[in-house]
Structure 1
Amino acid sequence: MTTDTPARLLQLLSLLQTPREWPGGELADRLGVSRRTVRRDVDRLRELGYPVQATMGADGGYRLVAGKAMPPLVLDDEEAVAIAVGLRAGAGHAVAGVDEASVRALAKLEQVLPARLRHRVSTLQAATTPLTSGDGASIAPETLTVMASTVAGRERLRFAYRAKDGSESRRLTEPYRLVSTGRRWYLVAYDLDREDWRTFRVDRVSEPFATGARFAPRELPTGGAAEYLRQSIQRRQDSYAYEVVFTEPADFVAARVPAWAGRPEPLDAGGCVLRGTSGDPVEWLAVRLAMVGCDFEVREPAELVRCVRELGGRLSRAGGG
């Protein structure tokens, strides 16, 4: 019999998070308490925000249903390891759709994982090879989780940074946001030594260290983090501007391109136009545009036009066209 109420509530919650309906008598037997105690414990869970649904009947049943808010989950060892491995695999390779929210989730989970489970996660990851596109830089998940923790906690972050030309430097920053472009992760932060905002490619970061010093967040000079990153890429010498016309409406395209790529604008004749700046190879952008899932026409630059034509011809030949 579980006499400690908090421990019993956690055990009850763990049972209810199994997707099935639990008869009141079975729950009482599992917990070693009376059915009346089960009813009181269910009421306590409801007060804490857990949407527990009761069904009428001779024995009465309980199940956890979807509610208006996301309450905390109780995970067993196997579930915690599985989620951590999955988040690490996605975050470490900047998979499209795995954004800052998933990195924050990974940071929270790894912060409370016992050492034995953290070791299992590392062992499993080391023994597996994710199938990725191969054109994005791999990142140590620990680097992302440290950064995500300092962003969420408004804590100054120190790290070593390797620039494009290979030069090394030490940076002390006030981290603002992590941004994923689908190929790479970037950190938008205020550089305290240079007294200005900067963007850092996370795959060039090493030895990230949370200093413990808190700071009051500053206001970005323009828009959000994604817009600031887009403008930062635009200012670089190796970047290029592009203009693409799609046959589908702006909201259709906006849902299928990352925020850093720009905001599609509606056209009077129908469809929309997407203008932006990229520092990625034109081959990668051509594939990304094709993944939107509708007809499009590249207006500029000429290099991207040629690349799209070559890619279209290659795919047509591959399909026997």
Structure 2
Amino acid sequence: MWETSARLLELLSLLQLKRDWTSAELGDRLGVSARTVRADIGKLRSLGYPIDARPGVAGGYRLAAGTTMPPLLLDDDEAVAVAVGLGAVAAWRFGIEETSLTALAKLEQVMPSHLRRRVEAIRETTSIVPGTIPPLDISALGAVATAIRGHERLRFGYTKPGSTQQARHVEPQRLLSWGPFWYLFAWDLDREDWRVFRIDRMTAHPPTGARFRARVIAEEAVVRHVVRRIIEAGWKYRARLLVHAPAATVAAKLVIPIDIEPIDAHTCRVDIGSDDPDALALWLTQLGTDIEVIEGDELRAAFARLTSRFLRAAAGTDAIPTLQPGQVLTINP
């Protein structure tokens, strides 16, 4: 009896390792005949594990998705990774803390002591910076994902900060996760243009049941479009720069998707923005090249303030006056 139970657990573990196994392969790994393998497969099916079988010489067995969630077998590293991940989800307040903690409690209850010690060691040596992350509505996220997979049009209410809710009718294309938020990239049927929506600002309406033919767009293009829209929507101050460096070099250093227009092999034009001109000026100094502000009085003033601070720090005195935009200061060594 114990030998049979142990063999069933080993068989289940093998089925979770890869997609397809032949009877001969399983029999060799378990040290039993193909007939015994077929009998063990039947026992696992009776326990609720959905196992598909394909007949023929090239056929075999595979563990499939079923209607219920059967028990899973995890190796040591997988169990530790799942436990740490569940703990992080609960700590980060994604709105599914209770579910995460319940699953974590079940997992730790059956964990060997040496694995529990590994999980506890990770927790004790890890700190999490608190934040104000909004709750994640798993049902809304699931509804959007289902509509994307089924190519089904979506209707929902959408509320932007400081505005009333508006009805939106879209063809959902892709979900993206960035920082604490989830975003939907979709074709807006009323505006006939691509739009980006934050999931936590959406109020779901009943499914439409209307299908659409999905547009073919590269994932990289979707990510770039969404990131640019998110960044630009949040810019309070905007500026245009002439940067004395190749466009490829600037793009590699700025890392965020912004508009960079090559002028020649050694210069480019950059449209950029920020909510904090002083922080933007400091960040741009890390390009390590000459910059001219073509448009953007706020950024010019920020560079002047920054220059004054740098000069005072270098001189070790506060005798150097604060520069005004356009003012030139000459220092004799």
Given the two structures, how large is their TM-score scaled by the length of structure 1? 0.49
Relative contact order, higher structure (CA 8 A, sep 6+):
1
Instruction: Please identify the structure whose Cα radius of gyration is greater.
Output: 2
